[in-house]
Structure 1
Amino acid sequence: MRIQEIINKKTGEKLLIFGGEDIISVNPDQHYYESCLVRKMTLFAPEETLGDKEPTKEGAKILVESAKECREFIDNFRKIDLPANLKNLLNTTKKREQEKILNGLELTPDILMAFLLYAGDNGYLFSEYSSEHHSSALKDKKMPLAYRKKDDGSMEVMGTTDLSEGQLKQNLEQRTVKVGKILEKGDEWHCFFVTFNSLLGKENWRSGQPHFHYLSNLFGFTKEEVIEQIKSKDYKLGNLPHITLKEYGNQPENKAST
């Protein structure tokens, strides 16, 4: 896992950013376990983890405790009852079968995680690809080291920039982001991908219901073509099955109550 440390020299503030790189053909269990362990060690024993300090007994103790907690964290997902249809998806050999299975299927982040682990236990490797595109109007602008939109709608900015708070907020809201998760075994592969517009309820499907798009090796695209489209600003993959995503993103019922 990539760890990026951003330091504001004027204030001494530090920001740690985990991940962001592509994940290619790994065992799902091993990947998520190691990611959990790296995060915990970086947060609770940062100097030793980042190589700024020699290992200590206290650091070793933190490592043992973190390893146990991460193993329990991962194994708890295996206790989730997966929908039978989702398991059967890995046994399909026809596109029509897959579309039938996905019709009416609902995912949550926990169910998806449990499914990735289930697939890994059955010999599938896991990959994740993402892309983020910003407005071309900001190409020559000085961007801050980091910035985020707080719960109250205001912006928290780290570093200097020649952009106004309104421009930064607009850039966050109008950026194009996609994340695709791929399970593969031999020539067989299954891809679940989501856009941030979907998570924000901005896509015109079921009143803005967050959702995943799905396709596989049976949909007439190569895996490389799908990855290329995930990386592009505007994807062109035709009309794909949608899978409802619950318990994450801007759910329609939440929008109705605000």
Structure 2
Amino acid sequence: MKRLTLPLSLIALPVLAATAIASTTATATDCATCAYTGLEIAGPLDVTLLADRDTAMPAVLPAGVRMSRQGNVLRLEAPAGGTIALRLPVSSLRELTVRDGANVEAGGLDTPSLALRSTGSGHIRLAGKVGQLTLASSGSASMHLTHLQPERVTLQQQGSGEIRFGKLTVAEFSASVQGRGRVVARGKAEAATLTASDGAEIELTRLEIGRLTARAQDGSSLVAHATEGLQASNDPSSAMLIYGAPTSLSIQGERVELGG
């Protein structure tokens, strides 16, 4: 595995000039200054994003690592794997795409919105503050977001991966889980929309939800906690158990139980 460390606190990211983007041996003196809002990491890379104003791009990229850009997105790819260290301005990061077995760790995030996409395997660890967090995960990747503090969460999970949050205090929490993926969260959400399908198992009893809209289908199960309102529906092959004694109920389906 190649390890790469990126500074996350700069206003703009030094990037390779147009004539040097395809080179793996370009130096920092060849760089121009451009602002990036997106980062895509592909291949067996181990990438660390750091909030460090004094750290610049590495003078030389490891052999086999390719860097390019498309619009405001910086792309790193290493089919052969390796260890890389890069720096990216955390405050400007709006999109992060991780695929093909890459591992990414980032701290000090402070952004109004972040779209995180993951395909395949790999490990992702993020910390900091985010306004709107949008997640899309397919495959077996593991996301550890226990030190991330979003204000709103929207996620789609397909496959066998895991998304793990810490203690949340959010206005909205929306989760659609398809297959054997796992979502773990605790804390409070003013409102939530939960959908389990294709055999998914959602268990969020430690997340206290005010108003809950829940649906389970295709042999799935859903367990949650709601205190104010519940709109629930499921098909005959699925089961639902809701704790918290919600004061307003609208239920469709025979296998919806209230746990008190």
* Fold-level similarity (TM above 0.5): no
TM-score of the aligned structures, taking structure 2 as reference length: 0.20
Greater strand proportion: 2
